Amino acid sequence: MPDLNFRITGVEAITRGLLPLLHFTVEVTNASATQQIYSGILQVQIQVESARRSYSAGEKEKLSDLFGTPERWGQTLRTRLWTLTSTTLRSFAGTTEAILSVPCTFDLNVSATKYFHGLEGGEVPLLFLFSGTVFYATEDGRLQVQQISWEKECAYRMPMSVWRELMDHHYPNSAWVPLARETFERLCAYRRESGFTDWETTIASLLTHPPAEQLAVPDLEVGP
């Protein structure tokens, strides 16, 4: 029976598409080099092993929304699911390669995006968990089907520069923050009332000159 092992050999930022994609190259090796594998369906869970790297003071501040204050990181810095993906395996004997396509987003409400955005550089420790189905031939040529063991996994450290390259291409000098519709309508009204013609000026105005009602200080009782 096939005994498949997996290794991530690289990652590439795909900038020519309409949507931001990362392509991970996975090397698949069968323990029996002469056994014919007809095809396979590979399902992959990718997790972020956040505890397997160090963090600068600036990164700790940016990641406080995810993990809390640094003194709590011993309990909160845990492995988190990033995404699920799948691919197919072509016919091979011995070793082959396949591409894992991972769609990405700059939505900062997504915890993985918030994590990546909070890193200043270095590498992201990832864990790939494999499952799926493989179709192979027995010694007498009969077609057989076998499930890929849930114990199959491999680690890979993704350079942050690859993710940055992807985001800089699809969202140059910008970020994307979704708002509730009611909040957006209030922001639109503020923009109209203030006479601003673009969102950049509108947000900058709120950051530098908050509306008067936000600055109101309640009356304090003064003792005798």
136 and 156 in a common domain: yes
188 and 166 in a common domain: no
What are phi and psi for residue 220, nearest 5 degrees?
-105, 140
Residue 88 within a domain: yes
Band the pLDDT of 218: cuts 50, 70, 90: very low
> Average pLDDT in the 110-135 region?
94
pLDDT tens readout for residues 185-197: 888 888 888 888 8
186 and 160 in a common domain: no
149 and 127 in a common domain: yes
Q: Which amino acid is at 213?
A: E
214: left (phi over 0), alpha (psi -120 to 50) or beta: alpha
187 and 109 in a common domain: no
Which among 166, 178, 28 has a CA at the least distance from the CA of 107?
178
Residue 41 within a domain: yes
Which among 128, 136, 99, 102 has a CA at the least distance from the CA of 5?
128
91 and 151 in a common domain: yes
Q: What is the pLDDT of residue 222?
A: 44
pLDDT tens readout for residues 82-99: 999 999 999 999 999 999
Q: What is the pLDDT of residue 186?
A: 85
Band the pLDDT of 220: cuts 50, 70, 90: very low
Coil, strand or helix: which one is 148?
Answer: strand
Q: Quick one: CA dihedral 56, 59, 63, 68, positive or negative?
A: positive
pLDDT tens readout for residues 114-126: 999 999 999 999 9
CATH code for the domain of 69: 2.60.40
165 and 111 in a common domain: yes
Residue 223 within a domain: no
Percentage of the chain modeled with pLDDT above 70: 92
- In this predicted model, which residue has the larger pLDDT, 207 or 163? 163
121 and 45 in a common domain: yes
Residues with Cβ < 8 Å from 176, sequence gap 6 or more?
105, 106, 107, 108
What are phi and psi for residue 214, nearest 5 degrees?
-75, -20
Q: Is the pLDDT of residue 217 over 70?
A: no
Q: Is the pLDDT of residue 219 over 90?
A: no
- In this predicted model, which residue has the larger pLDDT, 122 or 178? 122
Q: What is the pLDDT of residue 210?
A: 58
Q: What is the pLDDT of residue 91?
A: 94
What are phi and psi for residue 88, nearest 5 degrees?
-115, 155
- In this predicted model, which residue has the larger pLDDT, 207 or 151? 151
Residue 136: which domain range? Answer: 4-170
Residue 221 within a domain: no
- The tally of domains found in the chain comes to 2
Q: Name the token pair of 65.
A: 């929304």
Query: Cα separation of 150 and 90, whole Å?
Result: 21
**Judging by DSSP bridges, how do beta strands 143-148 and 123-137 pair with one another?**
antiparallel
